[in-house]
Amino acid sequence: MLEIAVLGAGRIGRIHAGNIAAHPGARLAGIADTDPAAASGLADALGTRVLRLDDATRADALVICSPTPTHADYIEQAAAQGRPVFCEKPIDLSAARVRPCLAAVHQAGVTLMVGFNRRFDPHFAALKARLDAGEIGRLELLTIISRDPSPPPISYVASSGGLFRDMMIHDLDMARFLLEEEPVSVSAAASCLIDPAIGAAGDVDTAVVTLRTASGRLCQISNSRRATYGYDQRIEAHGAAGMLRSGNVFPTTVQLADAQGFRSNPVLPSFLDRYAAAYRAELSAFIDAISEGVAIQPNGEDGLRALLLADAAVEAAATGRAVQPAAV
């Protein structure tokens, strides 16, 4: 039985810790957090104990859900202990910090999985499997629509790394996941349309990106920080033999028909609902990979590549030029 420690007792830490506790192949070794009250609150709720940070990196495996600036350090500590790590995205907001961290992971020979949860969403995973099965032939055009229900607090915006590195990085990873070719060119356009305070904090709230691969596959991504109708998460893959798409998820199938028309619910309002199954499947994949000693994706390189695409998008939006992403 794999004993897994969780670092970070915030919102996402709570999800992963709960999923570990419920997993038949793992046991929750404990919770560590720089805020002892947060750690003991979550530990109590799940019937586990509070761990010191140093002890956490000595569990069989570590799940890192602490604030972004701490990720790379903790990964390196776990690597030094030879422990497999699951780390919430991003590894770091700076590629310059990610690279030595990945080198340490590589040298230690430990497993590092990065938390791009959407790869494990049952809807997107089914789309990917059917793409792989050749149902639409060669992929040509990929469309990713990703819109948050509402903007994060301005305090978060300021330290988030910006929309491209904070939000769109998920879509960039999905693009890589589905395109099956590395994008060689990134162009972008972005605006602050929702809240001037976001602009004042140096960020944008509405952005689009175009990716092009070496063989010419094209991908369009659009992001908005606000969708009044819920958390909008859609993917559409257009290929030589057809089109596969994955739509939004609704809380119920109930529909009201009256003089105003036919009305369904808004879509699921939060990533916690929309991706609950994805978080479970993601952690399960981590546990399985460790238990079976097999390689896992998305790994550290996937984390870096998505960040490099986000960096390229930032530059492209600023310059109006298509940018080639930096090499790994």
Among 81, 160, 222, 284, binds a second copy (CB under 8 A): 222
The yes or no reply on residue 184 touching a second copy (CB under 8 A) is no
Contact 129, 136 (CB under 8 A): no
Does residue 212 interact with a second copy by CB under 8 A? yes
133 binding a second copy? (CB under 8 A): no
265 lines the binding site for a second copy (CB under 8 A): yes
Question: What CA–CA distance (Å, rounded) separates 283 from 277?
Answer: 10
Q: What are phi and psi of 194, to 5 degrees?
A: -90, -45
Q: Which two tokens stand for residue 254?
A: 């109930």
- CA pseudo-torsion sign 170, 171, 176, 177: positive
Stretch that binds a second copy, among 63-71, 100-108, 181-189, 283-291 (CB under 8 A): 181-189
Nearer to a second copy, 185 or 291 (CB): 185
Pairwise CA distance, residues 95 & 54, whole Å: 26
176 binds a second copy (CB under 8 A): no
- The footprint of a second copy on residues 89-128 (CB under 8 A) is 122-123, 126-127
* Of the candidate residues 70, 94, 160, 264, the single one contacting a second copy (CB under 8 A): 264
- CA within 13 Å, CB half, 140: 8
Establish if 266 lies at the interface with a second copy (CB under 8 A): yes
- The DSSP element (H or E) to which 186 belongs, if any, is strand 183-191
For a second copy, give the closer residue by CB, 96 or 259: 259
DSSP code of residue 137? -
List the structure tokens of 166.
Answer: 């904070």
Residue 36 within binding range of a second copy, rule CB under 8 A: no
By rule CB under 8 A, what count of residues binds a second copy?
A: 70
Q: Is 27 a residue that touches a second copy (CB under 8 A)?
A: no
Residue 156, classified by CB atoms within 10 Å of its CB into exposed (0-12), middle (13-18) or buried (19+), is exposed
Residue whose C-alpha is closest to residue 168's, from 64, 274, 70, 308: 308
Residue type, 319: T
CA dist., res. 198 & res. 195, Å (int): 6
Per-residue string for binding with a second copy, 232-251, x by CB under 8 A? x-----x-xxxxxxxxxx-x
E strands, 26-149, where? 26-32, 61-64, 85-88, 112-115, 139-147
Q: Does 185 engage in binding with a second copy (CB under 8 A)?
A: yes
Q: Say if residue 67 is preceded by a cis peptide, omega within 30 of 0.
A: no
Nearer to a second copy, 100 or 251 (CB): 251
Min. distance of Cβ 17 from a second copy in angstroms? 15
Binding region for a second copy (CB under 8 A) = 22, 122-123, 126-127, 130, 135-136, 138, 140-141, 143, 145, 147, 185, 187, 189-194, 206-208, 210, 212, 215-218, 220, 222, 224, 226-229, 232, 238, 240-249, 251-267, 320-322
